[in-house]
Amino acid sequence: MASTSAQHRSAAEQPRADRPRIVANLTFAEIIIVWALRHSLTDAGAQRTRDARIAPEFSRALGLARLEESLTSLAVLAQGLARAGRLPQSEAAVNDDRVTAREEAVLATLSAHQHGASALATWLSEWLVVQTEQQRFATAARVLAEIMAEAGQFLPHPPAGKRPPTTPSAAPIQNNLIAPADDRRRPVTGRQGLTAAEQHLLTGLRLWVQAFKEDDEPLEAVRRHFGQQADVDPGLSLHAILRNTTLTALRPIDVRCRNCPGLSPDEARLLDCIAWLQRGAAEPATAALAAWLPPSALRLSLGAARSLATGLMLDNRVLPLRDWDYPALEAAAHPPASQSDGTRHALAASPTLH
């Protein structure tokens, strides 16, 4: 009889899958995400204040190279949960010792991305937020998971019993994540064949160059074009890339005027760079920018390009990959000599456009 009682006590003391996990028992990678989410959801201050609190811990855990992207991605996750969470619940205090079901689902989403389980990650995103927020949420989760993996901060595979028990009752949502790298579109030889996302970025590029040439404020010009939110600032990222170009470019860069129907090879290279970065492929993106930037400036500009790629994705603007034919593009886009002054700007190593 005593033996039976002892067995019952032992069974009762075993952790159950349906019991909340204790924060102290999490891995470091899990703890940093739970801690940062709680600060983002419970701090009443401005986003900049929350970032200032989280940034030192993120920089130590994830490094400095993609700090801005990691903070932006976390802010988007928190905003999605706060504005469009499927299961509204009181937020856990920063020092709460138990992990909530929603926190477990966020950890599981990041882990699924790191372990290549994209279908599971999509399902979890659909379970966490309503449809209007799913694209931004899913993109932010993928980017944050990628940054954590690059820093060696891997989340354990979601344990049994820690995933949402059922899918949402709403109709299944199609997977909106980016298409594989081999899903390429035909190259184009002019602006007319570009997608809306490509046109949007191209216009921003040309507006910056036009403002720079006219001694206007190029940063303000692109911010007006892209729009600016608390967590996303594509205009600032593009400004950083182009400012580095004016100071360090190895050769003149061909950028067309705003209404030019053509497309220069250098404009296409920028589109190519951002399209690759939206798929997490740094090597071909680096090669695109290396066409005019030296290695020292390339390292600085690549971080800004990543932020630009992420910002556009969070605005539901995903650029397609294309097999660009740069010689053909040059031949098609080169205007007659009599029109060159009115249709072409060369962004040179000095801050002079002609």
124: tokens are 């979890």
Do 70 and 142 fall into the same domain?
yes
Average pLDDT over residues 232-254: 91
Whether 172 is in a domain gets the answer no
Do 143 and 207 fall into the same domain?
no
End-to-end CA distance of the chain: 95
- Where do we find the tokens 């031949």? 331
Whether 178 is in a domain gets the answer no
Query: What is the rounded distance in angstroms from the CA atom of residue 45 to the CA atom of residue 22?
Result: 28
Residue 92's pLDDT is what? 74
Whether 1 is in a domain gets the answer no
Query: What is the rounded distance in angstroms from the CA atom of residue 194 to the CA atom of residue 207?
Result: 17
Q: Report residue 161's pLDDT band, with 50, 70 and 90 as the boundaries.
A: very low
Domain boundary among 129, 150, 171: 150
Do 132 and 236 fall into the same domain?
no
Do 59 and 139 fall into the same domain?
yes
Q: In terms of residue numbers, what domain contains 112?
A: 18-150
Do 210 and 287 fall into the same domain?
yes
Of 1 and 348, the structure prediction assigns the larger pLDDT to: 348
Whether 98 is in a domain gets the answer yes
Of 91 and 268, the structure prediction assigns the larger pLDDT to: 268
Query: What is the rounded distance in angstroms from the CA atom of residue 26 to the CA atom of residue 104?
Result: 11
Average pLDDT over residues 257-265: 91
Whether 7 is in a domain gets the answer no
Do 122 and 238 fall into the same domain?
no
pTM over 0.75: no
Cα distances (Å, whole numbers) of residue 116 to 26, 101, 154: 21, 22, 12
Whether 270 is in a domain gets the answer yes
Given a cut of 90, whether residue 209 has pLDDT beyond it is yes
Do 145 and 194 fall into the same domain?
no
Average pLDDT over residues 198-222: 94
Residue 116's pLDDT is what? 86
At 65-112, the pLDDT tens digits run: 888 889 989 999 998 998 888 866 666 788 888 998 889 999 999 999
Do 29 and 89 fall into the same domain?
yes
Average pLDDT over residues 49-59: 84
Show Cβ contacts of residue 260 under 8 Å, excluding neighbours closer than 6 positions: 191, 206, 335, 343, 344
Domain count, the chain: 2
Residue 87's pLDDT is what? 67
